[in-house]
Amino acid sequence: MDPKLSQAARRLRILTAIISLMLIFTACDNNHTSNRTMLLSPTVSPTLTPSPTASPTLTPSPTASPTLIPSPIVKNAFNGQGIHAQFSDDGLIHCTYGPYWGDPRGNLVLDTSQPIDSAELRQMVNYVTAGVDNKPEPPTPSTLQWIQGISDAPPYDCQVTLEITNTSSRDIELQSINLKTTATPQQNNTQYHLIDICSLLPEPQKETCPPSNSGGTPINYFYYFKQAPIGTVFLPMTADGLDASMSQIPIYSHQLVAMTMVFSSQGNPSNLIYTLLPELILTGNETSKIELSELSFQLSFAHEKQFSCYTLLGDRFVLADQGGSGQWCV
């Protein structure tokens, strides 16, 4: 073979091989670029439609409020200086809202912050029914709480009966029961979501609900509170608005006398929380003052607009018009 032709043939084969390799690399590079573009291209996010949430059982949503005040329980007793003193009714102060006499534990307040399921509703019905029937009550459901609070609008008030026993061998006279503030009154902004007891009762019991108001213990002393500094002494008044701090009520040796005390709020602001210390003013051979420090207690007043009432309608609690027929909001 001609050497020149052989050399030309080799060059042609080399050139052909180089061109083939270039074509292969180009194809690979195009394929890589295509793949890279697919990976980096932004995906279109689908439009999300919000899932419907279950409507809460209770409406409207409550406004933020401070820590609720538990019902006052003063089970202690004072013993000394020839006197034994204690509050009756297990030391519970009757502070309720509404035209019907309520429970001495206070207001039965509904938790409106969370929906109430069927199991919780059954617990509430059983609890309320047992109480109305005067049967042993199950534990208070987590959806309910007994809270102290009384409307500042007449005729609502708080009451407690103080039992005083003369344990000495001599006769004495009760001149007055004064109440002294031991802390600066604080404003009460609690929202009271009451419940209509009648709406939770079985049908036969709804017919006799609410119960008739049979009255209570005869009234002896009235107290009217207003904003005052620490150490202010509130004196008792009569039902006619007269000064009762100079009464002369005899308490013979080993005799018990029960004095009912009624508390109302006046002035501005009237939704105040009072911390009070009872003082006995006694006369005999001489006048003496006895501080019943073991019987200190709190009273919580609220504006009428701080109270609302919820009634059970089917399986839901709805805001009710207060004062309607067949309602008992406590």
Q: Residues 5-50: pLDDT tens digits?
A: 455 556 656 655 555 545 444 444 444 433 332 232 333 333 333 3
Whether 16 and 94 share a structural domain:
no
Domain hosting 203: range is: 77-319
- Tell me the pairing of strands 158-166 and 83-87: antiparallel
Residues of the chain falling short of pLDDT 70:
1-75, 90, 95-104, 154-156, 211-219, 322-326
Q: Is the peptide bond before 136 cis (omega within 30 degrees of 0)?
A: no
Whether 90 and 5 share a structural domain:
no
Domain count, the chain: 2
C-alpha 314/C-alpha 323 separation (Å) is: 20
Measured in residues, the chain has a length of: 330
- Encoded tokens for 282: 């006694």
Whether 104 and 198 share a structural domain:
yes
- The reported pLDDT for the residue numbered 135 is 87
In a domain, 45, yes or no: no
- The reported pLDDT for the residue numbered 66 is 39
- The reported pLDDT for the residue numbered 257 is 93
Whether 20 and 110 share a structural domain:
no
Model pTM score: 0.70
- The reported pLDDT for the residue numbered 13 is 63
In a domain, 106, yes or no: yes
Contact (Cβ atoms closer than 8 angstroms) between residue 295 and residue 273? no
In a domain, 42, yes or no: no
- The reported pLDDT for the residue numbered 226 is 92
- What residue type is 33 in one-letter code? T
